[in-house]
Amino acid sequence: MNEKLQALADRFDEVSELLTEPEIVNDSARYTELMKEYSKLSPIAEKYREYLQAKAENTEARELMEEGGLDEEMREMVAEQLSDSAERMASIDEELKIMLLPKDPNDDKNVIVEIRGGAGGEESALFAGSLFRMYSMYAASKNWKIDIMHSNATELGGYKEITFSVEGAGAYSRLKYESGVHRVQRVPETESQGRIHTSTVTVAVLPEAEEVELEINEERDIRMEVFRSSGAGGQHINKTSSAVRLIHIPTGTVVECQNERSQFQNREKAMKMLRAKLYDEKVREQKEAIASDRRSQVGTGDRSEKIRTYNFPESRISDHRIKLTLYKLDSFLNGSLDEVIDALALAERTAQLAEGENS
């Protein structure tokens, strides 16, 4: 591992020097490429320097102890330095192991998120709206951009389904942990007896696919249908057939987009959604082929397939994958997701480390 770390540290120094050269600065494409590499290498190089510093202090203390001739006070100071530096080396070593784990190739991608009501009827649709609001607020805190691609709203302000894109640095690396069934337990506004109802909402998070990653023969493989946009009613319903439905003939995958006023814009967004779905399926099949697909996506929407429970009477969020429970429901639904997402990311990295050590 030390050889690999030293090679990365050397490359970091090399990239740092290259970024100061005039010909690189004047080449925007090359400069951007090197800046991305600099950003990736910087935390590793900095952490490795911390390790080398702790190692140097440990070596110095060990040599002083072996030489002898120290008075009692000095011996205590050197012994403390020896112990402290050894602890820091061990701690930094674990951090470096995690930093060197293979990165998910999709982590830097934008995402397309699909939220659909599951069990629970109108109450499920209302909670789908709550989840959309939650992700919108989380995206705003990260300076990410959200764009609604398709929605099917209900009269009470919920969503039977809503699809939206999230654009921003590291969007997939954070939101990928949200895929699955979300269960809500609360008293609906329409419940006169005050009984707690249980409903479910499914969330799918798909990495956005570029054209170079997935080749689609649009003339042969895509059938397009147009129809009038629909919604909860009112002036926003289109009177022209601008909504677009795309069917991928080889797989039967269907996507719809109706939120833009023009047929062209809706088709463009629908193609993005279709590419993301087909790419996600391609990646899933590859993972299954090598028996490394540890996460399921949405499932059927049944309550038993839950990844997280939102309990309103107790103001509780429980993530069942890592057995984490927090009593911060209000702040969580207002977009404060990082505590749970950080814990999920740590659990994933820990599992990867364990797999590496056992293989």
- Cα separation, 319 vs 343, whole angstroms: 10
Opening angle at CA 288, ends 285 and 292, nearest 5: 130
Q: Are 279 and 178 in contact (CB under 8 A)?
A: no
The whole-number pLDDT of residue 344 equals: 92
The whole-number pLDDT of residue 271 equals: 86
Asked, colleague to colleague, whether 2-99 and 111-350 share their fold, the answer is no
The whole-number pLDDT of residue 240 equals: 62
Per residue in 84-126, pLDDT (tens digit) is 999 999 999 988 888 888 788 888 889 999 999 988 888 899 9
Q: Of 3.40.50.2300, 3.30.70.1660, 1.20.1440.120, 3.40.50.10140, which CATH number belongs to 111-350?
A: 3.30.70.1660
Q: Are 340 and 324 in contact (CB under 8 A)?
A: yes
Opening angle at CA 242, ends 236 and 243, nearest 5: 85
The whole-number pLDDT of residue 288 equals: 61
Global confidence as pTM: 0.65
Token couple for 69: 């001739």
Task: Parse the chain into domains and list their residue ranges.
Answer: 2-99, 111-350
Residue 67 above 90 pLDDT?
A: no
Question: What percent of the chain is predicted at pLDDT more than 90?
Answer: 47
The average confidence (pLDDT) of the chain is: 85
Provide the CATH number for the domain formed by 2-99 in this structure.
1.20.58
